[in-house]
Chains A and B, each alone.
Chain A
């Protein structure tokens, strides 16, 4: 405990664990709250079906539109007497699952293509450039609506669309980082030592850019959550009988005058979650990677 206050230069190489603990102690309050909220959300997502007191489609016409705080229904019931809390928990699960899937998918595709573009140049680079133009010309929600009109709305389509729309950002990032590493930096040096491109990317470039990629993933995770809830709100994402935060609000708005709680509970969850992710992402960016703007 004594060396905690000593200047960093005097500490003899603290272990990774003790450095992590020290870092945790210095967390700002907002980041602590945000992390706690996100942790809670992920626990809920994992245990939604265990935690939910009722089946999500269990209709109880005797207790329709029960206000929050009533015994047995903490968050009230909806127009069909379904328990709002149970629906909320399951919705958190599906919204987070979709957002996580889309984020991982687009990060993986984008990073691989970005590295390929850095190594092969030519065709890949033009493809990425074309994609930048395409995205600048078509807001995501418009494209998603159009595709849903043609192909039909479903969860796989939604995840695919969000991954399709997100990969370009990672590709550009990965390409830029790889190029600068190869141009005059350590990756070029290692290539010159005779390492295979695979070894250069896996052992040198990927570990060095992972901080930046994680920050980007975090920051775009909140956008993905918002995009999913927006589309589900418009009736395009998750379809009945499944439930997501966005479509709970979409259906809840019809009862805005009589039962605003149906819509307010998921609205609060979306807002707090995307806020927490943004806070965490900004903090991570400042800590890990000052180069991303």
Chain B
């Protein structure tokens, strides 16, 4: 089966603000990333702020062009942002935002906003649109009374459900969720995650689930890709990542996820400065914080190698690391 979305060696470089007398600086937000997501599958992209995970989401949706490499949606290249084909394609691929209040027009009712993609893409007759709004609102768990309200009259969880309903109204095949639950209360997070799972079961939508929080994706991801300063450092099926992380960075992330009944004694605490994409360390970008770095890590960038269990790791020391863990 061919994937819904596929990225091949994608990079995205931002030109920083140069002044009249200052040279422009370049920030490589995403570098040489390859991934693919199939129908009904959820890929979680994990990383700290500045890891390029949100930029990757934008590039996958064609909201920001890739500086190098290509993105293929259903085996076809993406049209340039703003073009007619690009606009028409929006019905099939959707984005869920971190802050639902900002993503909703404060002046329109929830029903009007959920209807909007149907209006834009002229899907169905007016009656069918109204019917679809009711249907999708029920699917995401909104009550009929919510439909006539405005965004500020809803709770945070209800707003996010409205955003999800709007995204699902046109029956997209790809959903990119950029930190969809980090603005919500912890008690609401699980409910919204369950909503995503139910929607995926019902519609078979492919999902890219971007988060800084590994424990959030535990119950939804089929596969997990960990990003550090623009590069994927490890990618593997979710259960494999959680059971046996290999990259030192992933190890640190996984060890920080609390497991009920288990003390956090052997937690790996990351040292050093948090990553800054404008000042990327040479060699393996993670080496200044890596507990096991050797001389080679300072000079050469490790390739993302595939090995067993559908796993890819980018570390010079994977064999050694593995040995140490065993």
Tell whether A195 pairs with B102 under 8 Å between CB atoms, given A189-B97, A207-B107, A208-B107: no
- Judged by a CB distance under 8 angstroms, whether B116 is at the interface is yes
- Judged by a CB distance under 8 angstroms, whether A5 is at the interface is no
- Judged by a CB distance under 8 angstroms, whether B106 is at the interface is yes
Tell whether A186 pairs with B106 under 8 Å between CB atoms, given A192-B61, A192-B95: yes
Tell whether A186 pairs with B120 under 8 Å between CB atoms, given A194-B87, A194-B91: no
Chain A: minimal CB distance from B80 (Å): 14
In the complex, residue of chain B having the shortest beta-carbon distance to the beta carbon of A207: B107
Q: What per-residue 1/0 map shows which CB atoms of A184-207 lie under 8 Å from chain B?
A: 111011101111110100001001
In the complex, residue of chain A having the shortest beta-carbon distance to the beta carbon of B91: A194
Q: What per-residue 1/0 map shows which CB atoms of B77-117 lie under 8 Å from chain A?
A: 00000100011111100110101001111110000000011
Contact partners of B99 in chain A: CB under 8 A: 184
In angstroms, Cα B117 to Cα A261, docked, is 65
Interchain CB contact (< 8 A) of B166 among A193, A196, A204, A207: A193
Q: B117–A186 contact, CB under 8 A?
A: no
In angstroms, Cα B103 to Cα A204, docked, is 12
Interchain CB contact (< 8 A) of B103 among A185, A196, A197, A199: A185
Contact partners of A189 in chain B: CB under 8 A: 95, 97, 102-104, 163
Number of A-B contacts (CB under 8 A): 50
In the complex, residue of chain B having the shortest beta-carbon distance to the beta carbon of A211: B107
Chain B: minimal CB distance from A152 (Å): 41
In angstroms, Cα B177 to Cα A47, docked, is 61
In angstroms, Cα B90 to Cα A199, docked, is 15
In angstroms, Cα B101 to Cα A186, docked, is 8
Contact partners of A199 in chain B: CB under 8 A: 120
Interchain CB contact (< 8 A) of B88 among A186, A190, A192, A194: A194
Interchain CB contact (< 8 A) of B90 among A194, A204, A208: A194
Contact partners of A186 in chain B: CB under 8 A: 102-106
Interchain CB contact (< 8 A) of A208 among B86, B87, B105: B105
Q: A194–B89 contact, CB under 8 A?
A: yes
Q: A208–B106 contact, CB under 8 A?
A: yes
Chain A: minimal CB distance from B314 (Å): 31
Contact partners of A193 in chain B: CB under 8 A: 90, 94, 116-117, 120, 166
Interchain CB contact (< 8 A) of A194 among B103, B104, B120: B120
Interchain CB contact (< 8 A) of B87 among A184, A196, A204, A207: A196
Q: What per-residue 1/0 map shows which CB atoms of A175-190 lie under 8 Å from chain B?
A: 0000000001110111
Q: A204–B88 contact, CB under 8 A?
A: no
Contact partners of A196 in chain B: CB under 8 A: 87
Q: B105–A204 contact, CB under 8 A?
A: yes
Q: Which 6 A-B pairs have the closest CB atoms?
A: A194-B90, A189-B103, A194-B87, A186-B105, A185-B102, A193-B117
Interface contacts beyond A190-B105, A194-B91: sample of 19 additional A-B pairs, CB < 8 Å, sorted by A:
A184-B97, A185-B103, A186-B104, A186-B105, A186-B106, A188-B103, A189-B103, A192-B61, A192-B90, A192-B94, A193-B90, A193-B120, A193-B166, A194-B86, A195-B87, A195-B116, A197-B82, A199-B120, A208-B106
